[in-house]
Structure 1
Amino acid sequence: MNFLSIAWRNMCERPLASFLTGLSMALGVAAVIMVLVIHRVAVEQFEQDAQGYHFIVGGTGGRTELVMSTVYHLGKPLYPISYAYYRKFVDGEYAKYTDAAIPYCLGDTFVVGDYKYRAIGTTPDLFEKLKYDGVTPYEFSEGRNFKREKFREAVIGSVIARQGKIKVGDKVNPTHGLGGNPEDEHEESFEVVGILKPTGTANDRAVYVNMEGFYLMPNHSLSAKPKNADDTEASTVPEPGAPTVGYDNEGNELEPLPEAQREVTSILVLAKGPTEAMELNFSINKSGSGTQAVPPSEVVTQMLENIVGPVRTVLLVLTALIVLVAAIGILVSIYNSMSDRAHDIAVMRALGASRGAVQSIVLLEAVLLALLGGLAGWVLGHLMVGLASPYVEIKTGVPLDMLAVDPKELIVLPSLVLLAILAGILPAITAYRTDVAKALSGTR
């Protein structure tokens, strides 16, 4: 006796009920798959974005706010610090500990349609001295890095290039402030000279402009030197590698903004080694200078443990409840059909089928419903991840790979088999107890 073919025939005899039961199971499994895949990708993304340097230096305030605004380009930046303080990492007291110090000047926005992206003033060292995931150097899909002496050059991330259909040679005009209001658009434009290859980080959705040109835009300079407790007088000697004269897009000479009128929002610091990083971290945080050094990996770990992890747990509980309801649907569907099957079961018994064989057929039907629904849900879940990927990448810079498989997915189908067996026990017991004589005579 072929139990599988009999179980399949029983399912096909109730096509609507079987379809709806399988569909509910598929939707539940699809939800589970989406939660697992998106959580894994999000965790990897958060961790990868915070690599490539030892810590971020910024003004005092929330550690999380500093990391979110600098690393992920989200939220409001903290109060800026003086340019003189940044010079300490270049040719001052902290320079002997530092391999690279990359300044970030935040506060402007670049608008593409309905989307707003950060415009960041920085130096070419960002793409030359740092590796975006701690291992892989930045590469350009088109063009090159901007040059220090070309004050009106810019590099853009891959998401912005694709979203705005921007190519090398195009001009971009940031807007002042984080609101992205069209009336606040700067008249000064920057020429796009390079488009980054996709990095899978938040850098894919940012515009990087030459910091020298950033300073020369309206409302980006200070009228007088800021007063910070630990600041020394601004040096009249340009920092190593800084241009003494620059040029705009037409080749006209531009004079750099005096250092006394400059400030930076934050600094990405790559120390010479772990020991130097510890010394720098301690020195900065104990100096009382109104600044703080924050290792982004620590903040990311806390965020994942305290926010992302609990949210995933809640979502998994909710999706597990959906799957449980689908399993109950299997139980109800098969159990309600037992009275209609009593005659068929009696015929099978009369032809020599044992009670155990009949019981096995009912359990196998429950398992088939769960497995088919689960497989459909697994495919549907990954398809939904793929469909959501373009929107998620535009909004967050996080690409979702529909083919990415979380190891925890491997326990989904075995769990469904166990759940289906539990759901099929009651109908199987009912089949086991079927009275052959009464069923064949048509009495109850």
Structure 2
Amino acid sequence: MEKVLIWPEQYPLLLKGLIEQNGAFILDALEAWPACSTKIEDEVSSTTLPPLYYLIWLQPRDPFDECTFQHISDFDEQALRYIQAAKEYFLSNDYTAEQISEMLLERLAQYADINAQIQIETPLSLAKLLFEQRYFSLLAELLNRDVKLSSADILLLWQEVDFRPKLEPYLPDCAADLPDLLEAAKTELIQGHDFFTLLQCLSNEENLQQLLEQALLAHLHSEHAKQSLAMRFIEQGARGSEQNEQGQTALMLAAEKGFVSVIEALLGQASLDAKDHQGNNALHYAVAADNGNCLTVLLRAGANFHAKNNAGLSCYRYAVEQNRKALVRLMEREFGIKELSPQGQYMRIAKVHALHALVMLLLPLQLFFFFDDGIDYKSELTMVFTMLSVVAIFFAISLKRCALYPQLRHPFGLGLLRVGSVLSLLAQLALLSVVGLAFLSQLGG
């Protein structure tokens, strides 16, 4: 849609009255000034603005100038020549363009309510117009009038570094919508623009900390995240203590992106054991990213490699499931981490309790042979069976104490089996003692 700015036919009379300080001309022009409005016809938007806007431009812009509107005047060539001649006169007398507008606006204020004109909603804000013209003295005057600026206006003015000291004393009071401005500034910060000091002006320390945490999370979640920018957030005070809607922390997202420096910077501040809504911790994210460097840093920092996600997988088992062979070898070689598969865990438990069951069976077998009159080598059999029970118990205990033994809650029956095997061994040792004493008494006789 083409945007057109209409220069009312009353403008030359207003300008002439202000230059010559002719109150009659000024009042006549203001009284006849058309209503400020925007009309749309045939894909053309035609706008009429309050008088002060035109006094900032001074004269219609060339049709080929890059600007918000195409400027069209309702007055003739003679009026245009008068406007141009008046501007050249003041410029030749060491006035700047801004000083000309400032002088005209001061005179206009004697006949019209400037604040009322400022408060009229227009397609082009006064602050943006003054910024485009680089009229910073007039911008400062605008702030002195306690004008409320939109978020877009404040972000625009903040880009001018030299103007920031003049803008800061009016923040956050000059913001028309402070929550919207905070959100807009945070968005700009996430994208890497210099708006941290603006957030400092707008927020107290607690709110600023929260905004920094949110900005760090949002940036790390972005596809275009940069480690250097994430580090800047941390240098400004972000600690990685927040979680997003998925339960992800900055540490998890840094591991996912492979940002080793970010992880190292957050160690000691962010929680190593935090989990997202899927139960994954930072180690799982490092495995998913197939990043050995991040995994190494996290493990050396003491991250819990036993922690399991909602699927019941630790970081080691997750690496096996994802076929991350290099990470599996890294965990085994550098950190001695190794876990059995569910089938392997079942077999390890079965072996341990099969040995305990063997010890329990050996007791009645010993008693059978001991009290059978047809057996001649009772002492030897008792010794062999007892030693076999001792060896079985030793291997069962060794297997259970091994790091690979699954730390699972076993059925109550298996617990009774282990207790029974110990009692069986004690009984066998007692029987072996009786046999030994009998053998010694025979030798003494």
Higher relative contact order by CA 8 Å / sep ≥ 6: 1 or 2?
1
Asked whether the two chains share a fold, i.e. TM above 0.5, the reply is no
Structure that is richer in helix per residue = 2
Structure with max Cα Rg: 2
Structure that is richer in strand per residue = 1
TM-score, structure 2 normalization: 0.16
